[in-house]
Amino acid sequence: MHSIILKTATRLMVGLILVFAVYLLLRGHHEPGGGFSAALVAGTGFALLAIAEGPGTVRAAIRLRSTTISLLGLGLAVAASLTALFTGQPLLTGIWWGAEAKPWIGTPILFDVGVFLAVLGAILSVLLALEEF
Amino acid sequence: MAITDNEADSRWCNRIGMLATIVPAVLFILWCVCWPEIVKGRVLVADIPWMPSFDLSLRFRLDGLSLLFGLIVTGIGTLVCIYSAAYLSGHRHCGRYFFYLLAFMLSMLGLVTADNLLLLFLFWEATTIFSYLLISFDHESPTARENGRQSLLITAAGGLALLLGILLLKGAGYSYVISSWTDLSEPVSGHPLYPYILGAILLGAMTKSAQIPFHFWLPNAMSAPTPISAFLHAATMVKAGIYLLMRCHPLLGDSHLWTVSLATIGGITAVWGAAQAIGPRDLKRVLAYTTMMALGILTLFLAGRSTAALTAAVTFLLVHALYKAALFLAVGSIDHQAGSRNLNEISGLRRTMPLTALAVGAAALSMSGFPLFFGFIGKEIMYAGALAEELIPLLAASTALVANSLMTAVAAVLAIGPFTGPFKAIRQQVVEAPWTMWLGPLLLGGLGILFGLIPGWVSRALVEPAVNAFHPNGEEVRLALFHGFNLPLVLSMLTLSFGIGAYLLRDRLHRVLIAPLTGLPFGAEKGYYGSLNRFMKGSGTLTEALQNGSLHFYLAVIIGALIVAVGWPLTGGVLGWVDFSSPLPDPAVLALLVFIAAAALVVVTARKRLAAIGGLGGIGGGVALLFLSYGAPDIALTQLMVETLTIIFVSLAMLRLPAIERSRLRPPRRRLGDGLLSLAAGTLLALLLMGIGRVSLDRSLTAFFEANSYLAAHGRNIVNVILVDFRSFDTLGEIIVVVLAAWAAVTLIRKPMEP
């Protein structure tokens, strides 16, 4: 699509959308957000980019292949699930690090990042395939 | 089999074969180290919790019975590995072969040491799968593939029956832990579920151990490489069913139903297998039928309750494993060296293959039950066991007599046919097989003699611990070479003379008695193919009816099913719940509802795709706003984003299609039908939701999450905490599904259009 307005707006918007996605992802544990919604937001950002600049630009921007991103996400989620086994607890038990009362990072957050990457990879796969069809 | 003459391949194959041999050899030594302790009556147990909520633990237990099976599996496994290195020399898929073989062996070891029924079932299915891979190892041959599929279908179906039996047993209140069964106060046979439990478990055992009417996969499984047949279809896998029967004996074996069904099935299988074994000219097929006979005999004796009968079963198990593995390996050598294993094409090999001939001779004498051989002792104890039975002494003894006589005749066929007479072979030059290939048969054949000479030791160190493991009443039955002049000895002599008679008359016997039976228009195998064909045809018809390619039809089916499934229970007065007097929602929500309805109207009446897509987006956005107005920002956010992406994807796909043409619109009558269906579904769901609103909600879950989400999972957003912590197993499954679905979609999108 050749539209100066769309292209210019996209340049401004994509970065904002992606930053917003990361913000949603990280705040998800306490406020509305989380891996799934963040992946959808990021996916929308890439969709905008793909419509304005073409799928080639998206491919160049993400560098990794979309399937690799999905696999990375699944791997991260599985790794987060398995961590508990090393401490002798059942699979998928949340392990937290940091202060006793207010820990700041734990496997559920890693798991959420895994969800984010897996879903984002899935969206990108379908998006790019449809755009290049 | 595709044998290439590539030097490098051949060296690689030898090396990987020798590497693979290390595994069973080490395990065999390990088993031998445990041996003295087990004989003294100690039991080794390892118990690692796995899934306590399912009562599934990695509980392994080494007792007399596991020891015997383990020694057979690892001992014969070692010889088979050594043998295979030479047998498969130069084969392209050597690595794959040894991987399957070792994986199978480890699953078999797991099966015989598992002390938890569920764990046993897991190993049981693993042996099924690896045996399927091994039977269809020569995967370029359609016959091998078909035979592999047949064995998989039959044994896996039996496996499902076994699982059902295990679950029923648990449902009846019995433990999964096998070793806890021997000290039950009351046997299961009084329980109302007993016949179903027994039936299901027997189905599993019968399919695995090729009992009639599921026997036919075993002869067909002979398309596997010969060492595989020796290992799987003689010494190990088919015995898994027998092992299961032995393990279940203390729990289930205390009823007439058990005795009668096992005796009938086992007796028929034994006689039928032995009779069939006389006919074929292919040596491997002959061996397959004799295996069937052996499995039948084992089942027959497990029907019994006396120590003598069970001792007979365990002894014969060992006798059979030794001679059958030796014979299979030797037949493999003959095939490998002479180029054929068909009795019509080979003879007089005794000079060129003396060591193989020696091994076959020893194994065949043991098989026929010749005095001084281990087989003789096996047969003596068999007759003694049969006569000791309360219920069926005559039936058991006469069945054993018929089967054993035929077996003697078959042993003579095996030992005499290929080795005597003038020299005849497909290859011009026949030489003795390399040492790796005669070592196994000769060793196993030799053990048949050695064990025959030291029956006291065998009974003390192998048979008695095994019997005691599943029949612990302390009674002793010692094996001995000579029990004195008694009925079993007379029966043994009768067997030998009948056997010689049957050998001399074998052709006539086959022509008159057996051949007409095999030509019958009905039978188990024909039934199998018939039902398989009908199943394929039926599912083809069903698929064509349901998957007709019309998206319209699919949606109509889905919505119709929804209306029936949800509407049906509602007809029973649930409509009374709905309260139409509830107050109107506030104006903002009302305005949203009007907006959504207008958007829906746009979708239905749109003449352009883009307009319809826009309308859909409007509906989705409106619903998201509804969520927001009722205080569910998480869901609203997700809904909005899903809606946005859906619109993008749908437009990307739809805008590439040609414009809607007036002529291709559906006729008005069908549009009316679609409209009515949609209205019905919408009304139904609306009523349902209104009804649900009237039911008082169970707040206990909400209370739990409110109380625990911050304290236990350190998160204030309950929705997110549920997703990534409390129910993260579901989420893990879901993201896997999402990724797989996306890949599938990509494959479909990229697929070139069919013209």
What pLDDT, on the 0 to 100 scale, is given for residue B521?
65
Q: In chain B, which residue's Cα lies nearest the Cα of A68?
A: B739
Q: Where are the alpha helices (DSSP H) in A28-106?
A: 35-53, 55-62, 66-86
> Which chain A residues have a beta carbon less than 8 Å from that of B742?
70, 121-123, 125-126
HEC assignment per residue over B506-555 = HHHHHHHHHHHHHCCCCCHHHHHHHHHHHHHHHHHHHHHHHCCCCHHHHH
Lowest mean pLDDT of A24-33, A73-82, B387-396, B602-611, name the range. Answer: B387-396
Cα–Cα separations (whole angstroms), residue B345 to B27, B282, B356, B649, B705: 40, 10, 18, 68, 78
- Top pLDDT among B182 and B18 is at B18
CA separation for the pair B105, B738 (Å, rounded): 37
What pLDDT, on the 0 to 100 scale, is given for residue B1?
44
What pLDDT, on the 0 to 100 scale, is given for residue B6?
62
Q: In chain B, which residue's Cα lies nearest the Cα of A46?
A: B645
CA separation for the pair B23, B29 (Å, rounded): 10
Residue B346 DSSP one-character state: -
**Candidates B56, B720, B746, partner chain A, best to mutate (most A CBs within 10 A):** B720
Please answer whether residues B487 and B397 qualify as being in contact, where contact means their C-beta atoms are separated by less than 8 angstroms.
no
Q: In chain A, which residue's Cα lies nearest the Cα of B752?
A: A133
Q: Look up residue B566 and give its amino acid.
A: V
The mean pLDDT of chain B is 85
The pLDDT of residue B266 is above 60:
yes
Partner residues linked to B347 by β-bridges: B424
Could you say which of B633, B638, B736 has the minimum Cβ distance to residue A74? Answer: B736
Please answer whether residues B636 and B588 qualify as being in contact, where contact means their C-beta atoms are separated by less than 8 angstroms.
no
Lowest mean pLDDT of A47-56, B296-305, B500-509, name the range. Answer: B500-509
Please answer whether residues B226 and B334 qualify as being in contact, where contact means their C-beta atoms are separated by less than 8 angstroms.
no
Helix (H) or strand (E) holding B619: helix B609-629
Q: Is B679 exposed, middle or buried (0-12, 13-18, 19+ CB in 10 A)?
A: exposed
Partner residues linked to B115 by β-bridges: none
- Top pLDDT among B583 and A78 is at A78
Q: Which residues contact B449 (CB under 8 A, 6 or more apart)?
A: B362, B366, B372, B373, B374
Min Cα distance A65 → chain B (Å) is 13
What pLDDT, on the 0 to 100 scale, is given for residue B57?
86
Q: How many CA atoms lie within 13 A of B259 on its CB side?
A: 17
Q: How many CA atoms lie within 13 A of B148 on its CB side?
A: 20
Please answer whether residues B725 and A108 qualify as being in contact, where contact means their C-beta atoms are separated by less than 8 angstroms.
yes
Confidence of residue B471 (pLDDT cuts 50, 70, 90): confident
What pLDDT, on the 0 to 100 scale, is given for residue B253?
82
Confidence of residue B519 (pLDDT cuts 50, 70, 90): low
The pLDDT of residue B539 is above 90:
yes
Lowest mean pLDDT of B181-190, B358-367, B485-494, B525-534, name the range. Answer: B181-190
What pLDDT, on the 0 to 100 scale, is given for residue B396?
80
CA separation for the pair B283, B307 (Å, rounded): 35
Q: What is the pLDDT of residues B670-690, one digit of tens each?
A: 888 888 999 999 988 888 887
> Which chain A residues have a beta carbon less than 8 Å from that of B648?
44, 47, 51, 127
Confidence of residue B2 (pLDDT cuts 50, 70, 90): very low
CA separation for the pair B145, B231 (Å, rounded): 19
- Taking residues B125-150, what's their average pLDDT? 89
Spacing of C-alpha A21 from chain mean position:
8
Lowest mean pLDDT of B154-168, B236-250, B352-366, B498-512, name the range. Answer: B498-512
Query: What is the reported pTM?
Result: 0.78
> Which chain B residues have a beta carbon less than 8 Å from that of A24?
637
- Top pLDDT among B477 and B631 is at B631
Please answer whether residues B734 and A114 qualify as being in contact, where contact means their C-beta atoms are separated by less than 8 angstroms.
no
Q: Token pair 């197993």 is at which residue?
A: B729
Q: What angle do CA B385, B391, B395 make, to 5 degrees?
A: 70
For chains A and B, CB pairs below 8 A equal 140
Lowest mean pLDDT of A24-28, A78-82, B143-147, B748-752, name the range. Answer: B748-752
Please answer whether residues B720 and A37 qualify as being in contact, where contact means their C-beta atoms are separated by less than 8 angstroms.
no
- Taking residues B632-651, what's their average pLDDT? 89
Confidence of residue B596 (pLDDT cuts 50, 70, 90): very high
- Taking residues B612-622, what's their average pLDDT? 92
What pLDDT, on the 0 to 100 scale, is given for residue B225?
86
The pLDDT of residue B576 is above 80:
no
- Taking residues B88-104, what's their average pLDDT? 86
Describe the crossing of helices B94-113 and B64-87 by its angle, rounded to 10 degrees: 170
The pLDDT of residue B575 is above 70:
no
- Taking residues B221-241, what's their average pLDDT? 84
Q: Which residues of B touch A (CB under 8 A)?
A: 633-634, 637-638, 641-642, 644-645, 648-649, 652-653, 656, 713-717, 719-721, 723-725, 728-729, 731-732, 735-736, 738-739, 741-743, 745-746, 749-750
The pLDDT of residue B577 is above 70:
no
> Which chain A residues have a beta carbon less than 8 Å from that of B649?
126-127, 130
Min Cα distance B555 → chain A (Å) is 22
- DSSP-assigned letters across all residues of B571-593: TTTGGGG--TTPPPPPHHHHHHH
The pLDDT of residue B607 is above 50:
yes
Q: In chain A, which residue's Cα lies nearest the Cα of B713?
A: A94
Q: In chain B, which residue's Cα lies nearest the Cα of A99?
A: B714
Whether A47 and chain B come into contact, CB under 8 Å, resolves to yes
> Which chain A residues have a beta carbon less than 8 Å from that of B57?
none
What pLDDT, on the 0 to 100 scale, is given for residue B604?
83
What pLDDT, on the 0 to 100 scale, is given for residue B391?
65
Are B742 and A103 an interchain contact pair (Cβ–Cβ within 8 Å)?
A: no
Instruction: Spell B540-573 as b/e; 16+ CB within 10 A means b.
Output: eeeeeeeeeeeeeeeebeebeeebeeebeeeeee
Residue B154 DSSP one-character state: H
The mean pLDDT of chain A is 88
Pull the structure tokens for residue B400: 């054993």
What pLDDT, on the 0 to 100 scale, is given for residue B710?
82
- Taking residues B234-254, what's their average pLDDT? 86
Lowest mean pLDDT of A75-84, B232-241, B300-309, B651-660, name the range. Answer: B651-660
Are B732 and A81 an interchain contact pair (Cβ–Cβ within 8 Å)?
A: yes
What pLDDT, on the 0 to 100 scale, is given for residue B561?
93
The SS3 call for residue B46 is strand
Min Cα distance B640 → chain A (Å) is 9
Confidence of residue B7 (pLDDT cuts 50, 70, 90): low
Whether A43 and chain B come into contact, CB under 8 Å, resolves to yes
Confidence of residue B389 (pLDDT cuts 50, 70, 90): confident
Q: Which of residues 54-73 of A touch B (CB under 8 A)?
A: 67, 70-71, 73
What pLDDT, on the 0 to 100 scale, is given for residue B250?
84
Pull the structure tokens for residue B274: 């032995």
**Candidates B728, B737, B747, partner chain A, best to mutate (most A CBs within 10 A):** B728
CA separation for the pair B694, B577 (Å, rounded): 7
Are B649 and A130 an interchain contact pair (Cβ–Cβ within 8 Å)?
A: yes
CA separation for the pair B325, B231 (Å, rounded): 7
- Taking residues B459-466, what's their average pLDDT? 87
- Taking residues A1-21, what's their average pLDDT? 89
Please answer whether residues B124 and B137 qualify as being in contact, where contact means their C-beta atoms are separated by less than 8 angstroms.
no
Pull the structure tokens for residue B439: 């070592």
Whether A113 and chain B come into contact, CB under 8 Å, resolves to no
What pLDDT, on the 0 to 100 scale, is given for residue B3?
47
Confidence of residue A114 (pLDDT cuts 50, 70, 90): very high
The pLDDT of residue B754 is above 50:
yes
What pLDDT, on the 0 to 100 scale, is given for residue B15?
84
Lowest mean pLDDT of B51-60, B233-242, B366-375, B691-700, name the range. Answer: B691-700
The pLDDT of residue B588 is above 70:
yes
Are A94 and B644 an interchain contact pair (Cβ–Cβ within 8 Å)?
A: no
Altogether, the residues listed in chain A come to a count of 133
Going by C-alpha positions, the residue among B425, B414, B227, B231 that lies closest to residue B337 is B425
